[in-house]
């Protein structure tokens, strides 16, 4: 490189690096392991941290700062001087712990994942998700923050405590909550906790985005008509473990979360629902369906009557076991009902939960039970 070009480049770099002061919320940049300096620069440009990628790379070469970048997730503020960006990339400064919570994860899955990410004991995370101050502030009647740890990708600086991390995840839930959903609560005759609970069931059931409002409608219709929800994901939650197939004996588990034995919604969410499932629970489709059966390609066939449902399931093929398959729920519901009748007499069991914002939907237990869905 000629002296003139070097001088020009140096002057340009000095001007650029002198401009601006870091401000605003930190921006997240991921530098994958094995990434080239060019790809790292592209990530910086995409995040809005570098406006002239070619000049930035030239400056890095000129200052010999492009040879030893550290992989990881960085938090950097907009208008950070180039020399400081390069210093961070070369020295690993600004590295954070990144974690992604998938939609539909329960606390049983989230707690060990977060503990590993933060390098803290699981006990500290378990204590954080039982924080009484947060439970009280959010008006949550259950003993944990199940359903309120919002599924998303987070970046936590080194040294972040479990309580701070969980607090940020809960704040993300509050940021995602739409005011329009509050207006729907009175129309649906439920409170926010009920809506989050319904959304968590929808999250575990739905495979296709367009079916979420329809699945929500199926469960609301069953509640309205006094039918048991009979949602397989609630049984899995009651078991406290993942099973590849819900069996007859599983329906006998005694838990208020077992919607084959207990009327109404379970006491609380069974997983962390995403925004789409929350929206579906707030705005269910206007359909008469009360049953659905899964098809091989992952979509569901929805029906209004049990006879229609029986016909539909004859034509359905069992889908691949990507998640817990649905059992032959009519027979299983009969088994569960018979066992419940034996142990509790003729009086149906219901789940009693405090309602502080609006009446909670309660369904009357019937002797004959019919399932939400079946597989052939």
pLDDT in tens, 66-121: 888 888 888 888 888 999 999 888 877 777 888 999 999 999 999 999 999 999 99
Is the Cβ–Cβ distance between 270 and 355 less than 8 Å?
A: no
CA-wise closest residue to 356 among 210, 194, 239: 194
Q: pTM for the whole thing?
A: 0.71
What is the enclosing helix (H) or strand (E) of 173?
helix 162-176
Most confident of 83-92, 249-258, 338-347: 249-258
Q: Which of 300, 298, 292 is nearest to 321 (CA)?
A: 298
**pLDDT of res. 254:** 94
Q: Tokens 């990881």, residue?
A: 72
Pairwise CA distance, residues 327 & 371, whole Å: 10
- Round to whole Å and give the CA distance between 212 and 208: 7
pLDDT (0 to 100) of residue 273 = 99
Per-residue pLDDT averaged across 284-301, rounded?
Answer: 89
Measured in whole angstroms, the distance separating CA 217 from the mean position of its chain's CA atoms is 20
pLDDT higher than 60, residue 9: no
Band (pLDDT 50/70/90 cuts) for residue 270 is very high
CA distances from 140 to 9, 147, 163, 201, 219 (A): 59, 10, 17, 17, 22
* Cβ neighbours for 262, distance < 8 A, ≥ 6 positions apart: 228, 256, 349, 350, 351
74 CA to centre of own chain = 24
Q: Which residues of 180-210 are buried (b: 16+ CB within 10 A; e: fewer)?
A: ebeebbeebebbbbbbbbbbbbbbbbbeeee
How many Å apart are CA 216 and CA 313, to the nearest integer?
A: 20
Per this entry, what is the length of the chain?
A: 376
Averaged pLDDT for residues 228-240: 95
Question: What is the domain partition of the chain in residue ranges?
Answer: 3-93, 102-176, 179-344
The residue with greater pLDDT, 347 or 206, is 206
Q: How many CB atoms lie within 10 A of CB 296?
A: 10
Provide CATH code, domain 3-93: 3.30.1490.480
* CA separation for the pair 235, 242 (Å, rounded): 10
Residue with the bigger pLDDT between 293 and 198: it is 198
Distance CA 324, CA 306 (A): 23
């Amino acid at each position: 490189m000629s002296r003139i070009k070097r001088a020009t480049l140096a002057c340009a770099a000095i001007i650029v690096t002198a401009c601006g002061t870091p401000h605003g919320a930190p921006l997240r940049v991921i530098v994958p392991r094995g990434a080239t300096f060019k790809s790292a620069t592209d990530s910086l440009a995409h995040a809005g941290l570098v406006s002239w990628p070619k000049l930035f790379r030239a400056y890095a070469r000129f200052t010999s700062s492009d040879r030893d970048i550290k992989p990881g997730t960085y938090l950097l503020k907009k208008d950070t001087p180039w020399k400081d960006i390069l210093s961070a990339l070369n020295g690993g400064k600004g590295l954070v712990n990144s974690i992604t919570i998938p939609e539909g994860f329960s606390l049983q899955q989230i707690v060990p994942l977060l503990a590993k990410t933060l390098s803290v004991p699981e006990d500290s995370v378990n204590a954080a998700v039982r924080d009484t101050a947060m439970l009280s502030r959010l008006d949550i009647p259950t003993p944990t923050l199940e359903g309120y740890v919002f599924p998303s990708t987070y970046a936590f600086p080194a040294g972040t405590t479990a309580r701070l991390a969980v607090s940020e995840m809960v704040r993300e839930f509050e940021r995602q909550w739409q005011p329009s959903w509050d207006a729907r609560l009175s129309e649906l005759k439920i409170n926010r906790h009920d809506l989050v609970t319904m959304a968590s069931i929808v999250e575990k059931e739905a495979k296709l985005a367009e079916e979420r409002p329809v699945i929500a409608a199926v469960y609301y219709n069953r509640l309205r008509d006094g039918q048991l929800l009979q949602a397989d994901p609630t049984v899995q939650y009651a078991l406290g473990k993942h099973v590849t197939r819900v069996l007859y004996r599983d329906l006998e588990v005694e838990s208020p979360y077992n919607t084959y034995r207990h009327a109404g919604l379970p006491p609380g969410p069974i997983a962390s629902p995403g925004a789409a499932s929350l929206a579906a629970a707030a705005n269910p489709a206007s359909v008469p369906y009360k049953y659905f059966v899964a098809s091989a390609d992952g979509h569901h066939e929805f029906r209004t009557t049990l006879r229609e449902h029986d016909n539909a399931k004859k034509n359905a093929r069992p889908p691949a076991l990507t998640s817990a398959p649905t059992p032959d729920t009519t027979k299983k519901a009969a088994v569960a009902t018979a066992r419940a009748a034996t142990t509790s007499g003729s009086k149906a069991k219901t789940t009693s939960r405090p309602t502080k914002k609006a009446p909670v939907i309660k369904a009357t237990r019937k002797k004959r039970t019919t399932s939400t869905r079946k597989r052939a």
